[in-house]
Amino acid sequence: MIRSTPIISIIILLNTSIMAQSTDSIKKDEYWKSKLSDIEYAVAREKGTERPFTGKYWDFFERGIYSCVCCGANLFESDSKFASSCGWPSFFDSKYKDNIEFHNDTSHGMIRTEVLCKKCGAHLGHIFDDGPKPTGKRFCINSVSIKFTPIK
């Protein structure tokens, strides 16, 4: 009889947890693929970027709330949207900071700060320090990652 040593037990435990994780992420991927359009999935779940001046909201200034295209969490209000001429919807602030998180992003040879939905991990865009007053910030957000609801 082979007695399993603590090291073998640890390896088995680690392996099982890695397998469980990958099954979970495959399930999640399938869920998001069925819920989102191809471009929404590519941007929000795979950290893609829509081409500038092509999205629904870069030149759109109706009064309302922008929520996460994946989970519906409120993210931005039209009060803090501004015309940045960068080709993506831009906000200088968010009233819903509890629903937003930031990650360091060193992809594509750049050092940037990624903006994500805190509730579901959707990639929203990046934040830069060249925004207008009062914050000086520019949340540069993909139109396909957000969904607009007018305020009546």
- Residue 117 within binding range of Fe ion, rule CB under 5 A: yes
Residue 148 CA to residue 75 CA, distance in Å, equals 10
Pick one of 42, 48, 49, 71: the residue that binds Fe ion (CB under 5 A): 71
Spatial separation of the C-alpha atoms in residues 43 and 113, rounded to whole Å: 16
- Is residue 119 a contact residue for Fe ion (CB under 5 A)? yes
Give least dist CB 67 to Fe ion, A.
8
Instruction: Decide if 66 contacts 146 (C-beta within 8 A).
Output: yes
State the Cα–Cα distance between residues 28 and 24, nearest whole angstrom.
6
Q: Which two tokens stand for residue 113?
A: 């700060």
**Stretch of 32-40, 53-61, 67-75, 77-85 lying at the interface with Fe ion (CB under 5 A):** 67-75
Residues with a known catalytic role:
140
Which residues contact Fe ion (rule: CB under 5 A)? 68, 70-71, 73, 117, 119-120, 122
